[in-house]
Amino acid sequence: MTDQQNLIYPGRVWNDTDGNRIQAHGGSIIAVDGTYYWYGENKEKSTPGSGIWHWGVRCYSSTDLVNWTDRGLIIPPEPDDEESPLYPSAGMDRPHIIYNPHTRKYVCWLKVMSKGSIQRSTVLVADDVLGPYTTVTKWLRPLGMSAGDFDLVVDPHDGKAYYYFERVHSELIVADLTDDYTNVTGYYSTHFPQPQPPYVREAPAYFARDRKHYLITSGTTGYYPNPSESAVAASYHGPYTVLGDPHPTDASRTSFHSQLSSIFKHPGKRDLYIALGDRWLPGYLDDGARAFQEFEAHFAPGRDSDEPMEEFAHVDTSIADYVWLPLRFDGDTPVIEWHDSWSPDDYEDA
């Protein structure tokens, strides 16, 4: 067992209470009965040349957001079924779990990438946040679209749910979910249209504050970090007004060398919002201009954008780190500043 900690150290190796590197990438937090559950992609076996993209969805629990206990694989891989979206070489990313107060089920959506920029969804349900999870739908193309990075949102008043996703290489979609949260109704809105990566917005992270709806998104440069962009609206479906880069003090223009996966509103603090990010390339601390230019050229009109980019051949996601930082607000504008270390205890109780 490791010693109890009281500080979060962004960008440093983060171990669980057994002393092992935490594996919850592209992750989110859900609070259940006073306990926090941090879950995400388990990349422990995703070393260069392994052919393993993921080894299931792993979950950790905590009561302070600093010390995390490994609760194991809540959605295990399916290494014996090559047709499964949970096959280890399938590009399973960014799990999101929401609780349905009407069905009393936990609903998990997974994004799964296939060759040719095809990205589809798999939906699972469980009676307990730790599972076991049962697959409801495989290879879903919501609204007939290729659906990439996403976030799930539940209205705290009436329980209506929304699905924010990147229509791959095109625009951002906000879609209403069915009452059981396992599919889309058909009603949706479109936002932030762009002609090609790296301009297309992905990795949407939603939060609400003072009756306003916020999104922080990333550009599309794969594992290479780029400037984030925040936007605000008066309703879930917008229209959204772009506010700019929420990392104004980051001279590298890389969102402090990370990509956000979600934003967690601390239920016990008055105004603490935590931006959860992955530092996929801890050895790459360059500025963001070179990667942005290379993606701009790779996806230029007339190019075969499905050709692999060589710089991804030796990315080692098994050693990716986390960058968790608190938000502050300049009026209604979210700002994320660097902290070498910080503690949720420093914030006023609700």
Using one digit for the tens of pLDDT, what is the confidence trace for 12-32? 999 999 999 999 999 999 999
Using one digit for the tens of pLDDT, what is the confidence trace for 148-161? 999 999 999 999 99
Using one digit for the tens of pLDDT, what is the confidence trace for 212-228? 999 999 999 999 999 99
pLDDT over 80 (residue 348): yes
pLDDT over 80 (residue 80): yes
State if pTM tops 0.85.
yes
> For residue 46, what pLDDT is reported?
97
> For residue 338, what pLDDT is reported?
98
> For residue 1, what pLDDT is reported?
58
Please state, rounded to an integer, the average pLDDT across all residues of the chain.
95
Strands, E, within the chain: which ranges?
A: 25-32, 35-41, 57-62, 69-75, 91-100, 105-114, 118-126, 134-140, 147-154, 161-167, 171-177, 184-191, 202-209, 212-218, 229-233, 241-244, 259-265, 273-279, 321-330, 333-336
pLDDT over 90 (residue 313): no
> For residue 153, what pLDDT is reported?
98
Mean pLDDT of 90-117: 93
pLDDT interval class at 286 (50, 70, 90):
confident
Using one digit for the tens of pLDDT, what is the confidence trace for 64-75? 999 999 999 999
Q: How many angstroms separate the CA atoms of 206 and 213, rounded? A: 7
